[in-house]
Structure 1
Amino acid sequence: MKPIWIVDDDQSIRFVLEKALAREQLPVRSFANPRDVLAALADDEPQVLVSDIRMPGGSGLELLAKVKERMPNLPVIIMTAYSDLDSAVSAFQGGAFEYLPKPFDLTKAVELIRRAVEESLREEVNDERGAPAPEILGQAPAMQDVFRAIGRLSQSNVTVLITGESGSGKELVARALHRHSPRGDLGSNGPFIAINTAAIPKDLLESELFGHERGAFTGAQTMRRGRFEQADGGTLFLDEIGDMPFDLQTRLLRVLSDGQFYRVGGHQPLRSNVRVIAATHQNLEQRVREGGFREDLFHRLNVIRLRLPPLRERNEDIPALARFFLQKSAKELGVEPKRITDDALERLKLFEFPGNVRQLENVCHWLTVMAPAQVIESKDLPPEFLGPVPAVSVNSLHVDPAETARALPQGGYSPQPAAPQPGNHAVPTPVMAAAAAPAGVAAAPSSSGEAPWLQDLETEAKRLLEAGSPEVWDLLTRQFEARLIRTALAITRGRRIEAAQKLGIGRNTITRKIQELALDD
């Protein structure tokens, strides 16, 4: 890791920070003025820059501007004994990572520098701000099933039914299906037309879909083309199809059957070459049984079904989604993107998100506006995220392999990640993971109810404490973390991201730990 640069004309400040960071095993390089920093940048660069704001021979804000020109992603922490509003605003407008007023609590200062280091390492591992945004984000197995299905469906223009809870991103999947459909008379070079059948009053929906002739009803001053005509040669996305009125379902079925329809008030049959993709959050089979949805229309739409998992079934995707939405919100508002700590991300991962991806996007927009600092911590999250962490039952983690790829009628393909049983969906703890492990994988607990390794840990801790060994906490923690990471890397054959996922930590965290514990050596 590159050193942390401290810039302050006060030698005592430099000395205190040097010693504190050395205890954290973080390399440090100190400077007394901005001129020396700019000269040093010719042949070296820092991991993090910590600078005073007022110094002889130059301003910290001027240094911030010059450093950001060369290294736009470098976290810069501005210190000052003059805690005025103008200085704080100027620091953040200049792209500062954080603003640290003097006198500061040393422990909090080191914690802030540590967070800046993590951010810097994250940028090195994956410069998300410079990379083009993917169509749909998702590393979870459930989303990988959806991606594979989109890839297979890219070879045809078959009708697709997308099911999933509100806010889970069904229209994004529909747009991806359109974009990757074959080019030609009917495909990605044609228009993509979307209509939410639940958002349009019943009396207007027919005209929206099929158009109307002049004078067909009061207010019809001119002829209007409907969505089927507008989508000719492309894709028509019918969102919330389960809410379509029953009588309109009959007209839709006729169009899907023979390709013909009439405008409202019209007498001349029209044809439209359209690929239909429908979506719903409802259980259409149940709607059919209740008489609210035509069975023949259901089978006409249900050629290929894609189930889009709710966010609680793919919570490992929350960190990437949150960072993406923070970048997106900042761009929309014209402000500097905010960063989010691993602790805050873990807190987000424990939330149910009944509103799914749309709710997470709204939360990130709220944080962009309301979070008090450039770095979002757990305490900055909205109140609903700050309650006690819910318990998790082993039963809620049940997965039925038979449900992962259910074949549908008419040769349909349906990636079906298993839905969790009712209950909470928090990340399992190591204790629960051990409880759910097959026989022979984990050692059985002793008669006292504790796992044997916990008793061994207690014995070793007692021995070290009684012997007066220094820094027992750090010693045992480092050994524990090193063994965990080595084991995970052995299982994943050195693949760090996969190892981090298995351990339930962020990829930037595992990268930092590998460096701290010298596991690369």
Structure 2
Amino acid sequence: MKPIWIVDDDQSIRFVLEKALLREGLSTRSFTNPREVLVALAAEDGSEGPQVLVSDIRMPGGSGLDLLTQVKQQLPALPVIIMTAFSDLDSAVSAFQNGAFEYLPKPFDLPKAIELIRRALEESQREEVAEELMADTPEMLGQAPAMQDVFRAIGRLSQSNVTVMITGESGSGKELVARALHKHSPRASGPFVAINTAAIPKDLLESELFGHERGAFTGAQTSRRGRFEQAEGGTLFLDEIGDMPFDLQTRLLRVLSDGHFYRVGGHSAVKANVRVIAATHQDLEQRVKEGVFREDLFHRLNVIRLRLPALRERKEDVQVLTKHFLLQSAQQLGVEPKRISDQALEILSQFHFPGNVRQLENICHWLTVMAPAQMIEAKDLPPEVLLPVSSNLPLNTQPIGVIQEAMPQGGAFANPSSGNTLVNLGAHAGWESALEVEALQLLGTDRQDVWDVLTRRFESLLIQAALATTRGRRIEAAVKLGIGRNTITRKIQELHIEG
């Protein structure tokens, strides 16, 4: 196992962590400033870098946040823990925006710090296993005729550097196709760099794409390479290109036309040796007609168009994808892979999957965490699968029978005054109906702790689901839930949640 690197100008902090980790049987390597870390990484070319990096945030000769950014460019999967005696919100937000694994305020409790490093270590090892697994399995799976057409197109484009436009619904796997095109191209030895143009604020997107010079704008304390420079000699994947701001479309067109660009605030042209693959879920021809997408850029990007089918168009692939994602989730979480019954697979195969392959992957990860037994049964599937909207009716007008089928055994509530079953429950979606049934059953007993019982169960399920989506990262889960870091830590302890 590779060592844990500790970066802090305070000798006492380094000493305490080194000794504590040594007692845990973990090797360490210490540095006094970010410059030493970058020199060490360069000397080892990143191949024998750290398993986990623990860095102070404020040190003479460099910032821990700047170090985080630079290390993540070389080792994107490396868990980085940021320590600071300045426990302000801005530092925490900056750390997580730049990809930190966790935030550790000083002074810290040593056993908790070691526990945090242990979790980061486990995360790092899971990432390595996942990378090995992905290296041993095909990057894309599918037997459906529509997917075979995609595979044939990738094969035909394998020796080409031509620009490709990938179209398809959100979650259908457009980035996987882009990665496959890169992997099987003459540029395979170069970097593959992806950027979602819709996920980055307009004011930052230009700098993200083209980089900036020092002093180009407030906060630009150093020069920074953009994605075009990072992808030099390789492939740049521009996802959701249809959402790119109009003025930036002009700059992109210029790069595609003459192969040169300028950094923000720069005066020297930079040559771009990059293959561009773009993707969108939108109708670009319609966007052109509406005047929000440049027609000349559309024609420049649309040299080869490759349409990716929605998952509902390739339902015969749901079973093989489900088994693949269950295995993948188990590897990532370090648990035994779960099996799934034929009935559950059949229900999944009939689901519409508005979120496409990404939704199926998330469902499999949810099942790996939440299904109570090793064999996943139909009743273990999430509510959105058990209550598909088979008609165009909204959920609150679905037939009572549909809701009844999703209820637990004995879950119907009879109103003595009317003799009707499931009175007023059709006004809610499936899980809300089940919650109301459970509440009514408990309230009909002599119990006086119904609020506490249901609240604890609700909070426990909600936190476990959030931890599942964030691969166990507590602070990221807290952010998603909209609660504080201390709150989620306290709740995990109170509710005896593992992980």
Q: TM-score, normalised by structure 1?
A: 0.49
Matched letter for residue 334 of structure 2: G
Partner secondary structure for residue 136 of structure 2: coil
CA distance in structure 2 between the partners assigned to 1:340 and 1:302 by the alignment: 41
CA distance in structure 2 between the partners assigned to 1:164 and 1:148 by the alignment: 17
- Tell me which residue corresponds to 1:432: none
In the TM superposition, what is the alpha-carbon distance from 1:132 to its structure 2 partner? Answer: 3.3
Matched letter for residue 225 of structure 2: R
CA distance in structure 2 between the partners assigned to 1:334 and 1:275 by the alignment: 37
- Tell me which residue corresponds to 2:418: none
Trace 1:323-472 onto structure 2 (pairs within 5 A): 323-387=323-387, 390=390
CA distance in structure 2 between the partners assigned to 1:384 and 1:160 by the alignment: 35
- Tell me which residue corresponds to 1:312: 312
CA distance in structure 2 between the partners assigned to 1:174 and 1:155 by the alignment: 14
Confirm or deny that 1:208 pairs with 2:208: yes
CA distance in structure 2 between the partners assigned to 1:290 and 1:391 by the alignment: 32
CA distance in structure 2 between the partners assigned to 1:273 and 1:238 by the alignment: 15
Partner secondary structure for residue 165 of structure 2: strand
CA distance in structure 2 between the partners assigned to 1:208 and 1:274 by the alignment: 15
Cα deviation, 1:321-356, whole Å, max 9, x if unaligned, reads 000111111111111110011111110011110000
Alpha-carbon spacing, 1:257–1:370, altered in 2? closer, same or farther (3 Å):
same
Partner secondary structure for residue 277 of structure 1: strand
Alpha-carbon spacing, 1:296–1:389, altered in 2? closer, same or farther (3 Å):
closer
CA distance in structure 2 between the partners assigned to 1:342 and 1:211 by the alignment: 52
- Tell me which residue corresponds to 1:220: 220
CA distance in structure 1 between the partners assigned to 2:368 and 2:169 by the alignment: 26
Partner secondary structure for residue 335 of structure 1: coil
In the TM superposition, what is the alpha-carbon distance from 1:131 to its structure 2 partner? Answer: 11
Larger Rg: 1
Confirm or deny that 1:238 pairs with 2:238: yes
CA distance in structure 2 between the partners assigned to 1:387 and 1:226 by the alignment: 45
Correspondent of 2:154 among 147, 150, 153: 150
- Tell me which residue corresponds to 1:178: 182
Confirm or deny that 1:168 pairs with 2:172: yes
In the TM superposition, what is the alpha-carbon distance from 1:389 to its structure 2 partner? Answer: 8.8
In the TM superposition, what is the alpha-carbon distance from 1:390 to its structure 2 partner? Answer: 4.0
Is the Cα contact below 8 Å between 1:196 and 1:240 reproduced in 2?
yes
Q: How high is the sequence identity, in percent, across the aligned residues? A: 82
Alpha-carbon spacing, 1:130–1:176, altered in 2? closer, same or farther (3 Å):
closer
The number of equivalent residue pairs is 260
Confirm or deny that 1:138 pairs with 2:178: no
Cα deviation, 1:290-327, whole Å, max 9, x if unaligned, reads 00100000000000001011100001100000001111
Is the Cα contact below 8 Å between 1:262 and 1:269 reproduced in 2?
yes
Alpha-carbon spacing, 1:223–1:387, altered in 2? closer, same or farther (3 Å):
closer
Is the Cα contact below 8 Å between 1:160 and 1:305 reproduced in 2?
yes
CA distance in structure 2 between the partners assigned to 1:386 and 1:197 by the alignment: 35
CA distance in structure 1 between the partners assigned to 2:164 and 2:262 by the alignment: 24
Cα deviation, 1:228-272, whole Å, max 9, x if unaligned, reads 111111100000000000000000000000001111111111111
Matched letter for residue 377 of structure 2: E
In the TM superposition, what is the alpha-carbon distance from 1:388 to its structure 2 partner? Answer: 7.0
Alpha-carbon spacing, 1:194–1:130, altered in 2? closer, same or farther (3 Å):
closer
Confirm or deny that 1:261 pairs with 2:287: no
Structure 1 unaligned residues grouped into runs of 5+? 1-128, 393-521
RMSD (CA atoms): 1.8
Is the Cα contact below 8 Å between 1:315 and 1:349 reproduced in 2?
yes
Partner secondary structure for residue 188 of structure 1: coil
CA distance in structure 1 between the partners assigned to 2:330 and 2:138 by the alignment: 18
CA distance in structure 2 between the partners assigned to 1:220 and 1:145 by the alignment: 46
CA distance in structure 1 between the partners assigned to 2:213 and 2:179 by the alignment: 30
Partner secondary structure for residue 357 of structure 1: helix
Trace 1:92-107 onto structure 2 (pairs within 5 A): none
- Tell me which residue corresponds to 2:301: 301
In the TM superposition, what is the alpha-carbon distance from 1:387 to its structure 2 partner? Answer: 3.3
Matched letter for residue 170 of structure 2: S
CA distance in structure 1 between the partners assigned to 2:134 and 2:299 by the alignment: 45
Trace 1:8-157 onto structure 2 (pairs within 5 A): 132-157=136-161
Partner secondary structure for residue 161 of structure 1: strand
Is the Cα contact below 8 Å between 2:214 and 2:220 reproduced in 1?
yes
In the TM superposition, what is the alpha-carbon distance from 1:134 to its structure 2 partner? Answer: 1.0
Higher relative contact order (CA 8 A, sep 6+): 1
Partner secondary structure for residue 143 of structure 1: helix
- Tell me which residue corresponds to 1:252: 252
In the TM superposition, what is the alpha-carbon distance from 1:277 to its structure 2 partner? Answer: 0.2
Alpha-carbon spacing, 1:271–1:130, altered in 2? closer, same or farther (3 Å):
closer
In the TM superposition, what is the alpha-carbon distance from 1:378 to its structure 2 partner? Answer: 1.1
Alpha-carbon spacing, 1:218–1:335, altered in 2? closer, same or farther (3 Å):
same
CA distance in structure 2 between the partners assigned to 1:130 and 1:267 by the alignment: 42
Alpha-carbon spacing, 1:276–1:384, altered in 2? closer, same or farther (3 Å):
same
Matched letter for residue 261 of structure 1: F
- Tell me which residue corresponds to 1:18: none
Alpha-carbon spacing, 1:276–1:305, altered in 2? closer, same or farther (3 Å):
same
- Tell me which residue corresponds to 1:38: none
Is the Cα contact below 8 Å between 1:350 and 1:389 reproduced in 2?
no
Matched letter for residue 140 of structure 2: I
Is the Cα contact below 8 Å between 1:138 and 1:144 reproduced in 2?
yes
In the TM superposition, what is the alpha-carbon distance from 1:172 to its structure 2 partner? Answer: 0.5
Structure 2 unaligned residues grouped into runs of 5+? 1-132, 393-499
Q: TM-score, normalised by structure 2?
A: 0.51
Is the Cα contact below 8 Å between 2:331 and 2:337 reproduced in 1?
yes
- Tell me which residue corresponds to 1:195: 195
- Tell me which residue corresponds to 1:416: none
CA distance in structure 2 between the partners assigned to 1:293 and 1:391 by the alignment: 35
Trace 1:260-279 onto structure 2 (pairs within 5 A): 260-279=260-279
In the TM superposition, what is the alpha-carbon distance from 1:130 to its structure 2 partner? Answer: 12
Partner secondary structure for residue 237 of structure 1: strand
Alpha-carbon spacing, 1:238–1:155, altered in 2? closer, same or farther (3 Å):
same
CA distance in structure 1 between the partners assigned to 2:367 and 2:152 by the alignment: 33
In the TM superposition, what is the alpha-carbon distance from 1:391 to its structure 2 partner? Answer: 8.1
CA distance in structure 2 between the partners assigned to 1:172 and 1:389 by the alignment: 29
Matched letter for residue 267 of structure 2: H
Matched letter for residue 198 of structure 2: A
Is the Cα contact below 8 Å between 2:352 and 2:388 reproduced in 1?
no
CA distance in structure 1 between the partners assigned to 2:135 and 2:205 by the alignment: 41
Is the Cα contact below 8 Å between 2:351 and 2:388 reproduced in 1?
no
CA distance in structure 1 between the partners assigned to 2:245 and 2:208 by the alignment: 13
